[in-house]
Chain A
Amino acid sequence: MVIGERKPFEEITSMAEGNKKILVLGCGGCVTVCLTGGHDAVRVLSSQLRMARDKMGNPIEIIEKTVERQCDPEYVEEVHDIIPQVDAVLSMACGVGVQYMAERYMDTPVYPALNTTFVGGSKKEGYYVERCQTCGQCKLYYTGGICPIARCSKSLLNGPCGGSTKGKCEIDPQVDCAWQLIIDRLRSLNQMDRYEEIMTNNDWRTNRDGGPRTMVREDFQR
């Protein structure tokens, strides 16, 4: 899932400054799972904003709503009757959702309440780790299911560097050496022959380096 974190409160209040009535729009997708932008987070932020503005003597009216996702036009459309009632939208979705909202509702400012940080998963509830850098050339077949691009600090493709110490990366004792993990896994799977195959220099064109990416399913085009 895409992981995001709520922006510092002062930053959000300065974005809402000058607006008398706003829509705080949550997203039922990734940000609900990582507990930062779903229905509950909308209620928390709205309550905080109302209190902060009340304290300043400049009350704000907030419409609270959460849609299934903000990255599909059909769901973004669902709030079309609310938009004319508000001065601005504070979107609690990831960067994608904010942009979808802004593109659809061109006459109303749409502001991000979150900083979208990485693509990852949960280790346990409330604890999220980065696992994928969307390089577009998945190598997990060769590395026992552990990604050297995302999890190695240097994104090395052919084994650990000299800084790998007792299974940890030299940049931080809390960070596992990805290549240690890879070798351990390949050993337990009896796939060490894959470690022996040299991975040639990476083709970064399929990554963001090649420009903004699209994906098209021809069988769904009408």
Chain B
Amino acid sequence: MAEFQPTIVAFCCHYCAYGAADLAGSMRLEYPTNIRIIRLPCTGKVTPVFLLRAFEKGADGVYVAGCLDGDCHFIQGNLVAKPRVNYTKKLIQEVGLEPERLEMFNMSAAMGPRFAEVAREFTERIIALGPSPINKKYRNTSGQ
């Protein structure tokens, strides 16, 4: 049986996390291809609905990546995102998903290796948790 390849959605802010992703690419760093990046102007745009809908459409893991604390390009965006992510962890737990499937990470645009490290570690975490029990019909069936 083919090894489980998770689908992971990463909401990345344009100024830091997406910059870090870009740098990871320029540095030719390898990280798992399971990550689907969604670029946002700021993690402050993330609301629980975004994250829930990602799980609803079949994501096995979701993370939000923003600027370092105190360094948000829009001053407080990453600060409002953190409690929302924590709240959404409770929401997904109510539905029966493990709260570890959702996380928030902080990094600067210069931290290409950190972006790759987060991608690797989160993918390993989701592989250990197994596929999401939700919505199998949206699941990518290749390799399974």
User: A residues engaging B (CB < 8 A)?
Assistant: 9-10, 40, 43-44, 47-48, 50-52, 54-55
Contact = CB atoms under 8 A, between A and B. Distances in A.
B96 interface: yes
Given A44-B91, A47-B56, A48-B91, A55 B96 contact: yes
Contacts of A40: 47-49
B47 A51 contact: no
A105 B97 CA distance: 35
Max chain A CB contacts within 10 Å: which of B48, B95, B97, B133?
A: B95
A9 B93 CA distance: 10
A43 B56 CA distance: 12
Contact of B94 (A9, A43, A50, A54): A9
Contact of B48 (A9, A44, A52, A55): A44
A44 B84 CA distance: 12
A47 B133 contact: no
A216 B55 CA distance: 50
B134 A51 contact: yes
A44 B49 contact: yes
27 contacts: A9-B94, A9-B95, A40-B47, A40-B48, A40-B49, A44-B48, A44-B49, A44-B52, A44-B91, A47-B49, A47-B53, A48-B52, A48-B91, A48-B95, A50-B56, A51-B52, A51-B55, A51-B56, A51-B95, A51-B97, A52-B95, A52-B96, A54-B135, A55-B95, A55-B96, A55-B133, A55-B134
Interface in B63-104: 91, 94-97
Interface residues of B, number: 15
Contacts of A44: 48-49, 52, 91
The 7 A-B residue pairs with the shortest CB-CB distance in the complex, in nearest-first order: A9-B94, A47-B52, A51-B95, A43-B49, A52-B95, A51-B134, A55-B133
A63 B122 CA distance: 34
A9 B97 CA distance: 14
A10 B95 CA distance: 9
A48 B51 CA distance: 11
A40 to B, nearest CB: 6
Contacts of A51: 52, 55-56, 95-97, 134-135
A48 B134 CA distance: 11
Contacts of B135: 51, 54
Contacts of B52: 43-44, 47-48, 51
Contacts of A47: 49, 52-53, 56
Contacts of A43: 49, 52
Given A9-B94, A43-B52, A55-B96, 10 more contacts: A40-B47, A43-B49, A44-B49, A44-B91, A47-B52, A48-B91, A51-B55, A51-B56, A51-B97, A54-B135
